[in-house]
Amino acid sequence: MYSAPASSSSDTAERHLEQRGFTQISTRAVYPARTEFPAGQEFFGASWITCPDRVERAYRSYMTLPLTTDRLVIRDWTADDAEAAYQIYGSSDVTHWLTPAMDRVADEAAMRSVLQAWQEAQPNLIPPRGRWAVELRSDGRVVGGLGIRLLPPYREDLELSWQLRPEEWGHGYATEAARALVEWAFSQDGTDELFAVARPSNSRAIATAERIGMSWVGETTKYYELRLQVYRIRRGDVV
Ligand SMILES: CC(C)(COP(=O)(O)OP(=O)(O)OC[C@H]1O[C@@H](n2cnc3c(N)ncnc32)[C@H](O)[C@@H]1OP(=O)(O)O)[C@@H](O)C(=O)NCCC(=O)NCCS
């Protein structure tokens, strides 16, 4: 049985979240406006810190974008991101690996149109589906993108995907961002598992999937008529 912490400050509560393995521990950053809380809910109330199960439930049910990790913010794309996004999706080193195969975005103007289409689609997607930018907290630079979408042809399996600007590979940003997004996705009703697919030679993507805690479930050609390695993480793997 859990015994209540001696201190009853909200900082103590945040430390408990951290100890329980939450990536997104900066509750103030996540919930900047108390008025956004549902009527009658008190996030920093006494029960919040004396019962960790309630903490966890409250935390999960109110977990909302943007997500904040130690080094990153995961947020919606904006039109102002065209230049940074072009450094990602304008690079054939990135698009070469995507599934289905995607031509590199030709120029910044084309990137602006792509971002506009993503922005328009986003409100119509049922969470946890969506596309997000990954921004460095230190200087606000956009270093990558994340997506969750339904895999064709049956549109039953949710795919988590990640892309980083090539200059930003090797710092663990995809792992850190994807872990936070996975936790958020599992806080959404009805989301019990997420998949990632990678070409067999995409060793970086496969290593990231494993770092996130995904397990290999097999090889398939069912999604894009491409031979792909399939990885999966289930709600129980992270909760
Ligand atoms: C897949 C992709 C995002 C992986 O990038 P990445 O930087 O290797 O990913 P990670 O975030 O997992 O970082 C791991 C690397 O950072 C290093 N690292 C440094 N600090 C780290 C930290 N705090 N945590 C984890 N890894 C860290 C690791 O040692 C590892 O380096 P290594 O590969 O040289 O050994 C990138 O290669 C990419 O954008 N590829 C093209 C698109 C793509 O294939 N996407 C997947 C299919 S949609």
In sequence order, which residues have a C-beta less than 8 Å from that of residue 203 and are 6 or more positions away?
none
| Among candidate residues 125, 10, 20, 38, the one with its CA nearest the CA of residue 76 | 125
The number of domains in the chain is: 2
Same domain, yes or no: 27 and 111: no
For tokens 């130690």, the residue is: 70
Same domain, yes or no: 49 and 118: no
pLDDT at residue 59 greater than cutoff 80: no
Same domain, yes or no: 131 and 194: yes
Q: What atom of ligand 1 comes closest to residue 99's alpha carbon?
A: 48
Per-residue pLDDT band at 78 (split at 50, 70, 90):
very high
Bridge partners (DSSP) of residue 219 are 229
142 lines ligand 1 (CB under 6 A): no
Which residue range is the domain that position 60 belongs to? 10-64
For tokens 């450094």, the residue is: 87
Which of 99, 162, 182, 199 for mutating ligand 1's site (highest number of atoms within 8 Å of CB)? 162
- Boundary residue ending a domain (26, 41, 64): 64
Specify if 3 maps to a domain.
no
Same domain, yes or no: 97 and 75: yes
Q: What atom of ligand 1 comes closest to residue 88's alpha carbon?
A: 39
Helix (H) or strand (E) holding 197, with range, is strand 193-198
Which of 149, 175, 230 for mutating ligand 1's site (highest number of atoms within 8 Å of CB)? 175
Specify if 2 maps to a domain.
no
Which DSSP letter does residue 97 get?
T
Structure-block tokens of residue 75: 């947020």
Mean pLDDT, range 26-43, rounded to an integer:
31
Residue 208 contacts residue 162 (beta carbons within 8 Å): yes
Is the whole-model pTM more than 0.85?
Answer: no
The pLDDT of residue 207 is 98
Same domain, yes or no: 73 and 162: yes
H runs (alpha helix) in the chain: 10-19, 27-30, 46-50, 52-62, 82-89, 92-95, 108-121, 173-186, 203-212, 235-238
At 85-125, the pLDDT tens digits run: 999 999 999 999 999 878 999 999 999 999 999 999 999 99
202 lines ligand 1 (CB under 6 A): yes
Q: Peptide bond before 128: cis, by omega within 30 degrees of 0?
A: yes
